Structure 1
Amino acid sequence: MDLDLRKLRYFVTVAEELHFGRAAERLHIAQPVLSRQIRALEDELKVQLFVRDKRATALTAAGRQLLEDARPLLASAGAAQRRVTQAAKGPQTFTIGFMPGITVTPAVRALTAQYPDLTVELLRTSWVDQTEVLRDGRADVSIVRLPIDQQGLTVRPLFDEPRVAMLPADHRLAGKPVIRIEDLAHDHLLQPPDAVPEWRDVAVELREGKTGRLPVFHSVEEKLEHVAIGNGVSVLPLSTARFYSRPDVVRVPIEDIGPNHVHLAWSAARRSRIVYAFADLAAGLTWT
C-alpha cells in the first residue's frame, strides 16, 4: 500500500491541533471533508488513529507512532520538491544554514572561489530548526551545535569551543574570573536542562520540582533580555556570547563544563559534489 501524502498532511494537522474544526481551518477545507479523509486513512492502515468524544480528540498508540513517522516523511517529500524546483530554475543555488555566533564568511569565500558561478545563500538557524532546515530542504548543509538528532544525516566535526555562563550584571557571581557549575545550583536556567546536563546534576530547582514552564525563545537576543532583567541565567558557546555582548549581561567562564561541539551536517541521501566539496573546505578551515 502506498501512503497518500495529502492524507498524511491532514493527519499531522489534526494530530497537532487535536481538534478537527481547528485543523480544517488550518487546511482551508470543510470539516466533513477532513473527517472523511482521516477515516479513509484509518481504513487503508486498518488501525484507529484518533479517539473522539464530545469533549476531546486524542491520539491512539497507533496515531502517536504514525505522527512520529509522518513528519520526517513529509519533510523529505518537501525537500525533494524544493530541490527539483531549484534544479529546474538554475543557476544553481547553495544554501548554508548556521547557528548564532558562527562566522561562515571564510567558508563561503572558499566555496565561491572554487565554484564562481554558484549563488550562495545563508540561513540563520536556531536550536529548534538547525536540522529541520536539512530535512525540509531549506538548506543544503547546516553548521550545527550538538546535541542533535542525527538520524538520516551525515555529520562531520568542525571545531569545539568553551561554554560560558551569561549572568545579569548585578549577579552575585558577576566579575568572578571563573566559576564552577555548582555555583549556579541555586539559579534558574533559561534553557532546557538537557542542554546543560552538568547543571542538571546540581540544580536545586530540579530537586525541588520548581522549574515551571520555560518560555519559548526564538533568538539569543530574547534569551539575553531575560538574563538582563534577572529572570535567570544561561549557558552559551563562547563565540555566541562574544557576538551578542551587551553591558547589562556579563559572561563568566565555567571551568568544569564540557565544550560545545560544532559540526557540519547534511542529508545522508544527498549525493551532491558541491556538498562534498564544501564539507572538505569547511574541515580545512580554522574556525576559532
Structure 2
Amino acid sequence: MTGSEDSPAFRLAYVPGVTPSKWVRIWHERLPHIPLTLTQVPAAEIRATLRAGEADAGFVRLPVDGDDLSAIPLYEETTVVVVPKDHLFAAADEVAVADLADEVVLHPLDDTLDWEHPPGRAARERPATTADAVELVAAGIGLLIVPQSLARLHHRKDLTYRTITDVPTSRVALSWPQEATTDLVEDFIGIVRGRTVNSTRGRRTEPEPKAKRAEKGGARRQQPTGGKAGGRGTGKATGKPSAKNARRGSGSPKGSKPRRRP
C-alpha cells in the first residue's frame, strides 16, 4: 500500500447529479491538513479519468467494467420521467413504463440507465447530452427518463418530473484503481462507509509516548499521605491533627479554660 505522504492532496472526481458535500465536510473535519480537490467529470469519461490516474477516487454510476477498478455501491436512485408542466403525466403521481408506448422518448448518448430496449418511440436523432435532451423536452420534442438527481440538476420552471415504474435504476458507487489503494483512499472509504474517527480501519493516530503514559499512570496510582489504610487521605501532613480532631481529643487545647462541672 502506498503511504499517504506520496500524495499532497486527495483528488476526488464525481459524475453530474452526485452531491459529495457531506463526505467532503467530514474529510475537512478529520483531515484538515490534507486538501481535497473536487472535479466533476461526465459519466462516460470518469472511468478513463480514474484509470489515467487523474483522480484518486470518484463517485461513478454502475456498472464499472473491468477488474482494474474497485467499487463500493452506495445507494440506488429513483428513476423519473421529465415532462412539460402542461403534459398529461404532470397530473399523475407516478407513471408506468407502458404509458409511454405512444410517446417519443429521448435517449441521449450519455444516458446513465442500462437499457436493453428503451421505451416509447425513438426520436430521429439521439441528443449528445442529457442537458441537450432536457432542452428538447422543453421544446415539446419528446420526454426524457433519467435518475432523479439529474432531473433536479437540470431543473427548469417549465418542466416537472414524475416517478416511473418498471424501468432500470441508477446505482451510485465509490470507485478507485485497485493498484492505487493508498492510505488516503482508505480514509475516504471509511468516511463514506460511516466509520467513526476511532475506527481501527480508519487512519491510525500516532501512539502516545510511553513516558507520558507512565507518568499519567503513576499519577493515578499515587496515594495521598496522612489517610487511613484503605480509605481516602486528608492530604494533610502526619502528626498535625486537624482542628476537628483536636476538639475530639481527650485533652484540652493549650491555654483553654477548664470546663465547669455541673
Would you call these one fold, judging by a TM-score over 0.5? yes
Matches within 5 A, 1:190-269: 190-192=107-109, 195-197=113-115, 200=117, 202-205=119-122, 211-217=123-129, 220-269=130-179
Structure number with bigger Rg: 2
* Letter of the 2:113 counterpart: A
Structure 2, unaligned runs of 5 or more:
196-262
Residues 88-103 of structure 1: pairs in structure 2 closer than 5 A: 92-103=8-19
Cα deviation, 1:122-144, whole Å, max 9, x if unaligned, reads: 11122221212101222111101
Q: Does the alignment pair 1:282 with 2:192?
A: yes
* SS across alignment from 1:110: helix
Preserved contact between residue 113 and residue 168 of structure 2 (Cα < 8 Å): no
Structure 2 Cα separation of the partners of residues 249 and 168 of structure 1: 4
Per-residue Cα deviation, 1:154-202 (whole angstroms, up to 9, x for no partner) = 000111121101112333322221111121223232325883526x264
Change (3 A) 1:221 1:215: closer
Q: Residue 97 of structure 1: CA displacement?
A: 1.0
CA contact (8 A) 1:175 1:252 kept: no
- Of 63, 67, 84, the match for 1:147: 63
**Equivalent residues in 2 for 1:1-288, closer than 5 Å:** 87=6, 92-186=8-102, 187-192=104-109, 195-197=113-115, 200=117, 202-205=119-122, 211-217=123-129, 220-284=130-194
* Deviation, structure 1 residue 212: 4.0
Kept in 1, the 8 Å contact 2:83–2:144? The answer is: yes
Change in CA separation of 1:201 and 1:101 when aligned onto 2, cut-off 3 Å: closer
Per-residue CA distance 1:16-46 (angstroms, 9 max, x = gap)? xxxxxxxxxxxxxxxxxxxxxxxxxxxxxxx
Contact 1:196–1:235, Cα closer than 8 Å, also in 2? no
Amino acid across the alignment from 2:15: M
Structure 1's consecutive aligned runs of 4 or more residues displaced over 6 angstroms after TM superposition are none
The alignment's TM-score, normalised by the length of structure 2, stands at: 0.64
Q: CA RMSD in A?
A: 2.6
Q: Note if contact 2:114-2:168 (Cα within 8 Å) is conserved in structure 1.
A: no
The one-letter amino acid of 1:240's match is L
What's the offset of the Cα at 1:204? 4.2
Q: Name the aligned partner's letter for residue 152 of structure 2.
A: R
Matched-pair contact (CA < 8 Å) for 1:95–1:141: yes
Asked whether the 8 Å contact 2:13–2:39 carries over to 1, the reply is yes
Whole-angstrom CA distance in 2 between matches of 1:176 and 1:150: 41
**Conserved? CA contact 1:134–1:140, under 8 Å:** yes
| Alpha-carbon distance in 1 for matches of 2:150, 2:126 | 21
Structure whose residues are more often helix by fraction: 1
CA shift in 2, pair 1:177/1:137, >3 Å: same
Q: 1:195 to 1:105 in 2, by over 3 A?
A: closer
Cα deviation, residue 263, structure 1: 0.4
1:59-115 CA-to-partner distances (Å, cap 9, x unmatched) read xxxxxxxxxxxxxxxxxxxxxxxx9xx95xx7x111111122221111112122222
* Paired residues of 2:61 and 2:173 also in contact (CA < 8 A): yes
Unpaired runs of 5+ in structure 1? 1-82, 206-210
Query: Which amino acid is the alignment partner of residue 176 of structure 2?
Result: W
Within 2, Cα distance between the matches of 1:272 and 1:194? 29
